[in-house]
Amino acid sequence: MATRRSFMAGMLAAGLVPKPTWAEAGNPSYLSAARKPDGQYVLCGLGEDGAICFEIDLPDRGHAAAAHPTLPEAVAFARRPGTYAIVLDCRHGLTKARLEAPTGRHFYGHGAFSADGDLLFTTENDFDAAAGIVGVWDVRNQYTRVGEFSSHGTGPHDIKLMPDGKTLIVANGGIETHPETGRTKLNLHSMRSNLSYLTLDGKLVAKVELPAEHQRNSIRHLAVSDGSEVAFAMQWQGDLSNDLPLLGIHNRRIEKPRLFGDPSVRTMRGYLGSVAFNSNTNQIATTSPRSGAVHIIEDGGFHRSLQLADVCGVATYSGGFIVTTGSGVVRASETRISKHQMAWDNHLIAI
């Protein structure tokens, strides 16, 4: 007589047992790392209404997360220069696997899944060679590392999968760091950031650099529209008194990126924290925790701003944008505001 285990294994092999979904984790719309009042770090799932669907303890401060496209699991990345990432079963609050950066590497706090969820791509620093790397992990085989390739730049930070499902976009921030000197920036006199478009096996499709006057503008975070436009948020590494733009858009059909006059280095104190692209409304939102501002840019360059202290996380929702702050606020509109005993970290990741 067949055992229950062998029966279930047969059902799984035949594809007759439904796979778990995000609905079984409370149906969250977003992920965010946070710090609780007692100092414990957690990863939370949030609904569009700002309610917390789940929270799972983390061993240290998190940065961003990557949500599996179908399964209720997420990869929580340590804050740069972290050497580990935690794969979490968001249904049961359990650690499914732990990713360790290879010797001589550290993660940059971001990752992206392939469209089918079978591969995870991570941005990494080969710090002795001062070279950017994209690591490749086999999700089906307990997140075993199966390869790597060049990011075609220095200091790769954010990484996204393009809508074609065949191309990755990497924000190479251009800044060289080394664990021996912590977060000290070692090459400001010669840094140069870029956007690199790569195939899933690492072939360079296109590389986009900014004009010479932007030599100290570090491209850090990305948002991609349904039409494959890439919005990129930058962080300035020089004098904060100038008016150089901190936000740009690139379309591969057009060679040069479009840069917006505002938000600028001076108005944002040189720092954009996050960026989101709402394809339904054709709007881009950026945040700056240093200036306590959210900027929303519409087609044609018109923009409006909102002052919100310590705001950083931003993502799209059906009616516009939802943001989070270090004081625990989750805000989607003037009337949709939640407050939690959480210090939300830098990023709000849409599932």
Give tens-digit pLDDT for 90-108. Answer: 999 999 999 999 999 999 9
- Given a contact cutoff of 8 angstroms between Cβ atoms, the answer to whether 336 and 50 are in contact is yes
Least Cα distance to 106 among 171, 178, 174, 172 occurs for 178
Per-residue model confidence as pLDDT tens digits over 133-161: 999 999 999 999 999 999 999 999 999 99
pLDDT of residue 254: 79
Match 């990345």 to its residue by tokens.
77
**Is residue 201's pLDDT more than 60?**
yes
166 vs 301: CA distance, rounded Å: 30
- Given a contact cutoff of 8 angstroms between Cβ atoms, the answer to whether 168 and 112 are in contact is yes
Per-residue model confidence as pLDDT tens digits over 38-61: 999 999 999 989 999 999 999 999
80 vs 62: CA distance, rounded Å: 9
Average pLDDT, the chain: 92
Per-residue model confidence as pLDDT tens digits over 231-274: 999 999 999 998 999 999 999 887 789 999 889 999 999 999 99
pLDDT of residue 181: 80
Least Cα distance to 285 among 252, 239, 331, 343 occurs for 331
CA angle 251, 257, 258 (to 5 degrees): 100
Per-residue model confidence as pLDDT tens digits over 7-44: 444 544 555 557 899 999 999 999 999 999 999 999 99
**Is residue 195's pLDDT more than 50?**
yes
pTM of the predicted structure, to 2 decimals: 0.93
**Is residue 4's pLDDT more than 90?**
no
**Is residue 3's pLDDT more than 70?**
no
**Is residue 302's pLDDT more than 80?**
no
pLDDT of residue 319: 80
Mean pLDDT of 318-326: 93
Q: Is it true that the peptide bond before 81 is cis, omega within 30 degrees of 0?
A: yes
pLDDT of residue 184: 83
Q: Is 232 buried (19+), middle (13-18) or exposed (0-12) by CB count in 10 A? A: buried
Split at pLDDT 50, 70, 90, the class of 303 is confident
Least Cα distance to 36 among 326, 312, 324, 348 occurs for 326
pLDDT of residue 13: 56
pLDDT of residue 14: 55
Per-residue model confidence as pLDDT tens digits over 66-83: 999 999 999 999 887 888
The first and second tokens of residue 79, run together, are: 């804050």
Percentage of the chain surpassing pLDDT 70?
95
